[in-house]
A and B are shown apart, each in its own frame.
Chain A
Amino acid sequence: MKAPSFAYAKPRTLAEAFELIERPGAKILAGGQSLIPTLNMRLSAPELLVDITGLAGLSNIEAKNGAVRIGALCTHAMVERSPEVREHLPLLAEAMPHIAHPAIRNRGTLGGSLALADPAAELPACAVALDAVLIIASRKGERRVRAVEFFKGLFETDLKQGEILVGAEFPKAEKSAFVELTRRHGDYAIVGLAAVTKQRERRISLFGFADRPVLIRPGSLEEAKGSLPKPAADLYHSSATKLHLAKVLLERAWNRL
């Protein structure tokens, strides 16, 4: 199980990075906690890995204007430990310990998780629930995309050739709840939900459910349960089971919203 051959470059500036990622067969490497397993299994064969972890200024967490901006290179552990996150984004604080295990959280990054867009992952769902804005840089400058528009499908995002996700802004919410069901501690969830109440509106984002986080904005619990689409089955759970479990989670989270 040894990775196929590839080249490696570690740019120091965004400008260098933009040049490198436009090369044929280039792929961005951040924390590598999802990418490196696929390399070791030879499920992925990039020609060039562009290691962006040397880029300056992408590892900050700062609270301002009712939101918390988190740099793409912040590791899960940094987010987990952040006083700003704990104070302003209890949803993220509650979600972080569910992401894999400490050794993974020490390397895995916020940007990497969002850019990978694994439909069973916690962070994309949190971003959608909070109505986060993702900040994307390219040679042409920066653009901002709402999370709900960023996730396009199974491991598919709005990121285009030549672009790098550099951070995300998570607006505060009044209330929040994070629940997920995993067979074992740290596993990807069978199904989970990240939910907030913002300006009296409940925003509930389900993960492990469809090809991307599913956002619902129900007025009542019954409406919430009735508005769920048919989920995708996984290895161990049929669509019917996932739908049932999602409804159970809705019931459990509802009173916290």
Chain B
Amino acid sequence: MEQTLTTTMTVNGSQVTRAIPARQHLVDFLREELGLTGSHIGCEHGVCGACTIRVNGEVVRGCLMLAVQANGCRVDTIEGLSDSKELERLQKAFHEKNALQCGFCTPGMLMAAQDLVRARKKATREEIRAHISGNYCRCTGYQAIVDAIDEVING
């Protein structure tokens, strides 16, 4: 018999309580139960970074965390950080520099980028590349992404 656990978390500022199957990972929960389809599933083994989200203010791989582990946590997704305008500068720079093509990696990439933006006053291109090196993009040559993050951090 599938075990479900009553789990409460704050997703993009709203508290949700659901009975969640123990085995469901956090991105599946966000996508399938809450309809927050902005976080994407690219590999489900923690390599591609498309599902990068924020839990209690820190970026994590949404596919490498069980949804029930988020009990009592604050979860922020691309939808929430777009509405709160937290990502506005990065989104503008990504748009103006064409730092995305198909856009499938983009929500995760923005999450990773914002992590650096919040942490650093300055960053070299090498440091930017290193910071997003766990987020796979097959379309761009990464250069426009680095340019966009560079502009937001270094002005």
Residues of B near A53 (CB, < 8 A) are: 69
CB interface residues, A 12-37, toward B, < 8 Å: 29, 32-33, 36-37
Residue A51 at the B interface, CB < 8 A?
yes
**Residue in chain B with minimal CB distance to A4:** B23
Q: Scan A90-120; emit 1 where CB is below 8 A from any B CB, else 0.
A: 0000000000111110110000000000000
Q: Which of A7, A106, A185 contacts B3 (CB 8 A)?
A: A7
**Residue in chain A with minimal CB distance to B72:** A54
Interface centre among B2, B64, B71 (most CB of A within 10 A): B64
A-B pair count, CB < 8 Å, reads: 89
Interface size on B, residues (CB 8 A): 32
Interface size on A, residues (CB 8 A): 31
CB interface residues, B 34-60, toward A, < 8 Å: 44-46, 49, 52, 58-60
A41 touches B134 (CB 8 A): no
B3 touches A32 (CB 8 A): no
Q: Report the minimum CB–CB distance from B1 to chain A (whole Å).
A: 8
Residues of B in contact with A (beta carbons under 8 Å apart):
2-3, 5, 21-23, 25, 28, 44-46, 49, 52, 58-61, 63-66, 68-69, 71, 112, 115, 129-131, 133-135
Known: A33-B46, A100-B134, A103-B134. 6 other contacts (CB 8 A): A4-B23, A32-B65, A37-B64, A40-B45, A101-B133, A102-B59
Residues of A in contact with B (beta carbons under 8 Å apart):
1-8, 10, 29, 32-33, 36-37, 39-41, 49, 51, 53, 77, 100-104, 106-107, 184-186
